[in-house]
Amino acid sequence: MIQELREIDEIIDEYQGQKNALIQILLKIQEKKHWLPKPALLWVSERLNIPMAQILQIATFYKAFSLEPHGEHIIRVCLGTACHVRDGPKILEAAEQHLGIKSGETTPDLKFTLESVNCLGCCALGPVMMVDTNYHGKLRPSEVPEILEQYRTDTSALTNEQQKRKPTAQHQPASPVISR
């Protein structure tokens, strides 16, 4: 617990405790924890001297934030216009069926969180599904289960792939969380 708050202190200090950095601070916490735990928010409220109500207003308004725990892998199915006309909704359906959860939910084993997003900006590759920081483009619904199973079983291989994608030390880790 104290360790966790220390991590949050580090994030707040990075922004020199500026009040207007609240959204950026919450984004960083969300990135680290995959959600916004209550003790963390209370601590932010205390440190920045911002009322909890205002913090919750922001945490519920923006889609990047979640007040519930998220799964280990976050699946985002793009439902932007380009993906929509190329059968994006069927990709979402396939993922929903395979995981047995609806969009916005997390599997009971906390392995996957499924979300739909309104555009990943990969329109030429539609339909697109993003798992963590990996994009899977030009998908067919029948390919979805196989891709998801890879993440369930072979996490080490994927970590390698991700490392390859981010080869130098100067690269910041990609922000992992989008919307609910």
Partner 1 sequence: MTKITSRKELEQYRKNLQKQKGSKNITISVCAGTGCLALKAQEVVDNFREEIKKHKLSANVEVKEAGCPGFCEKGALVVIHPEEINYIKVQPEDVAEIVSETIVKKKVIPRLLYTDPHSTKPIKKESDIPFYKHQKRILLGNNMKIDSKNIDDYILYGGYSALAKALFDMKPEEVLEEVKKSNLRGRGGGGFPTGRKWETTRNAQSDKKYVIVNCDEGDPGAFMDRALMEGNPHLVLEGLMIGGYAIGANEGFVYVRQEYPLAVENTEIAIKKLEELGLLGKNILGSGFDFTITVHRGAGAFVSGESSALMSAIEGRVGEPRPKYIHTAVSGLWNKPTCLNNVETWANVPLIINNGAAWFQKIGTENSKGTKIFSLVGKVNNTGLVEVPMGTTLREIIYTIGGGVPNGKKFKAVQTGGPSGGCLPEKYLDLPVDFDELYKVGSMMGSGGMIVMDEDTCMVDIARYFVNFLSQESCGKCIPCREGLRHMLRILNDLTTGEATEDDVKLLEELSEVVQLSSLCALGQSAPNPVLSTLQYFRDEYQAHINGECPAKVCKGLLTFTIDAAKCTGCGLCMKNCPVEAITGEKKTVHHINSDICIKCGNCYEVCKFNAVQKATGKQKKVVSVERR
Contact with partner 1 (CB under 8 A) among 3, 16, 49, 172:
172
Report yes or no: 130 and 78 within 8 Å, Cβ to Cβ. yes
Q: What is the smallest separation between the CB atom of 131 and partner 1, expressed in angstroms? A: 11
Can residue 126 be called a binding residue for partner 1 (CB under 8 A)? Answer: yes
Query: Phi/psi class of residue 117: alpha, beta or left (left: φ > 0; alpha: ψ in -120 to 50)?
Result: beta
Hunting for tokens 């390919």 — which residue is that?
Answer: 143
What's the rounded Cα separation, in Å, for the pair 68 and 38? 10
Binding mask 35-64 for partner 1 (x = CB under 8 A): -------------------x--xx--xxxx
Can residue 160 be called a binding residue for partner 1 (CB under 8 A)? Answer: no
Can residue 141 be called a binding residue for partner 1 (CB under 8 A)? Answer: yes
Report yes or no: 22 and 58 within 8 Å, Cβ to Cβ. yes
Cα–Cα nearest to 51, from 98, 19, 89? 19
Q: What is the smallest separation between the CB atom of 55 and partner 1, expressed in angstroms? A: 10
Sequence-ordered list of residues with C-beta below 8 angstroms from that of 106, at least 6 positions apart, any chain: 68, 69, 70, 71, 112, 113, 114
Q: What is the smallest separation between the CB atom of 152 and partner 1, expressed in angstroms? A: 19
Contact with partner 1 (CB under 8 A) among 5, 52, 125, 158:
125
Residues interacting with partner 1, by CB under 8 A? 19-24, 26-27, 54, 57-58, 61-65, 79-86, 90, 93, 97, 117-126, 128, 133-137, 141-142, 164-165, 167, 170-172, 174-175, 178-179
